């Protein structure tokens, strides 16, 4: 049995603190990874978009879990009357997107009682699992030793195991399986030059047929989607690797010049790369 395609390629716990009224703007940028979070104080309200139109809404309060699939586009609104919203978020990316991608699931709230029911254990302390994972990374400077790393991943996989049956699947009729080879290729190779013809060939479709099906399924053209992936991953890189210069980030993302990267970044993120990094923006 081969488990390689289910491996975790990116994992980062994050203790998030945001003031009342803060807004996450990801309406035009697909999330570069999936996230599973638990609210510790305050509340988080979301509005998800599909094809640039509002698709679903919800709110998570203290003790609720949040799931945001990779590729989701949404706005998030932080609410707290006393102090700041606090949550622990586990950002991750799997080798195969599957159910953790926005083609197959939605941004959603999972109630604590429902999560415990899915675990089959009313005493399952999922909040402690989040806290322990964050604690391991806090005390090891995000570089846990072998034993700690195994504990961390054991707890994380247990949370994922319970999460999967709780996820709301999109209607299969909304999915276009025929374009998934192109989506998977772009996920792995967003930093490389490519054409609509090359993407269409991966799906065994003509250029025009592929273009229409891609835009109908995703809401934007293939090249626009690629650009959004580049900027979305650049945001992650700007925060996760502060030692990199803007020019180095631009080069890693495959932009022809740093000036072009800055222009596209500001158009999509409403901030320059430098200003985005300075905010230290927490991403749910």
Residue 273 belongs to domain spanning: 176-279
β pairing state of 34-41 and 65-68: antiparallel
Q: What is the mean pLDDT of the chain?
A: 89
Q: Model confidence over 132-181: pLDDT tens digits?
A: 999 998 887 656 678 888 999 999 999 999 999 999 988 766 678 899 89
Q: Model confidence at 2, in pLDDT bands (50, 70, 90)? A: very low
Secondary structure class of 39 (helix, strand, coil): strand
pLDDT number for residue 50: 83
pLDDT number for residue 29: 84
Would you say residue 80 has pLDDT above 90?
A: yes
Secondary structure class of 262 (helix, strand, coil): helix
Domain-located, residue 171: no
Q: How far is CA 92 from CA 13, 165, 268, 275, in A?
A: 9, 18, 23, 25
* Same structural domain, 132 and 184: no
Residue length of the chain:
284
Would you say residue 1 has pLDDT above 70?
A: no
- The CATH number linked to 20 is 2.60.120.10
* Same structural domain, 11 and 146: yes
**Are the CB atoms for 281 and 239 separated by under 8 Å?**
yes
Q: Considering only CA atoms, which of 41, 95, 42, 29 is closest in space to residue 68?
A: 29
> Cα–Cα distance between 120 and 43 in angstroms, integer?
26
**Mean per-residue pLDDT, 44-59:** 90
Q: Model confidence over 23-49: pLDDT tens digits?
A: 888 888 888 889 999 999 999 999 999
* Domain total of the chain: 2
- The CATH number linked to 258 is 1.10.10.60
* Same structural domain, 111 and 223: no
What are the residues whose beta carbons fall under 8 Å from the beta carbon of 275, sequence distance 6 or more? none
Domain-located, residue 265: yes
**Mean per-residue pLDDT, 203-231:** 90
pLDDT number for residue 239: 84
* Same structural domain, 113 and 239: no
Would you say residue 283 has pLDDT above 70?
A: no
pLDDT number for residue 146: 80
pLDDT number for residue 168: 92
Which of the given ranges, 2-6, 168-172, 243-247, has the highest pLDDT on average? 243-247
Indicate the angle between helix axes 146-163 and 112-119, nearest 10 degrees.
100
* Same structural domain, 137 and 270: no
* Same structural domain, 142 and 201: no
**Are the CB atoms for 216 and 178 separated by under 8 Å?**
no
What are the residues whose beta carbons fall under 8 Å from the beta carbon of 270, sequence distance 6 or more? 25
> Cα–Cα distance between 70 and 25 in angstroms, integer?
15
**Mean per-residue pLDDT, 227-232:** 88
> Cα–Cα distance between 142 and 13 in angstroms, integer?
9
- For 128, list phi and psi in degrees, rounded to 5: -60, -40
């Amino acid at each position: 049995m081969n488990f390689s395609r289910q491996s975790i390629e990116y994992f980062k716990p994050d203790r998030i603190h945001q003031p009342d009224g803060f807004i996450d703007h990801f309406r035009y940028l697909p999330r570069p990874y999936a996230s599973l979070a638990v609210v510790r104080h305050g509340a988080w309200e979301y509005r998800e978009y599909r094809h640039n139109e509002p698709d679903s809404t919800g709110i998570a309060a203290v003790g609720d879990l949040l799931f945001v699939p990779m590729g989701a586009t949404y706005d998030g609104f932080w609410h707290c009357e006393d102090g700041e919203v606090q949550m622990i978020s586990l950002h991750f990316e799997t080798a195969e997107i599957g159910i953790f991608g926005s083609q197959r699931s939605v941004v959603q709230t999972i109630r604590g009682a429902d999560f415990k029911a899915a675990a089959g254990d009313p005493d399952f302390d999922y909040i402690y699992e989040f806290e322990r994972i964050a604690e391991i990374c806090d005390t090891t400077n995000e570089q846990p030793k072998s034993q700690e790393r195994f504990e961390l991943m054991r707890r994380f996989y247990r949370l994922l195991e319970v999460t999967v049956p709780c996820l709301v699947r999109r209607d299969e009729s909304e999915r276009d399986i025929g374009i998934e080879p192109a989506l998977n290729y772009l996920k792995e190779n967003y930093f490389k030059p490519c054409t609509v013809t090359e993407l269409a060939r991966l799906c065994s479709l003509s250029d025009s047929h592929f273009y229409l099906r891609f835009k109908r399924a995703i809401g934007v053209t293939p090249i626009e989607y690629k650009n959004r992936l580049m900027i979305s991953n650049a945001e992650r890189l700007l925060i996760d690797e502060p030692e990199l210069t803007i020019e180095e980030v631009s080069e890693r993302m495959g932009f022809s010049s740093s000036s072009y990267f800055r222009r596209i970044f500001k158009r999509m993120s409403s901030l320059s790369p430098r200003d985005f990094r300075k905010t230290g923006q927490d991403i749910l």
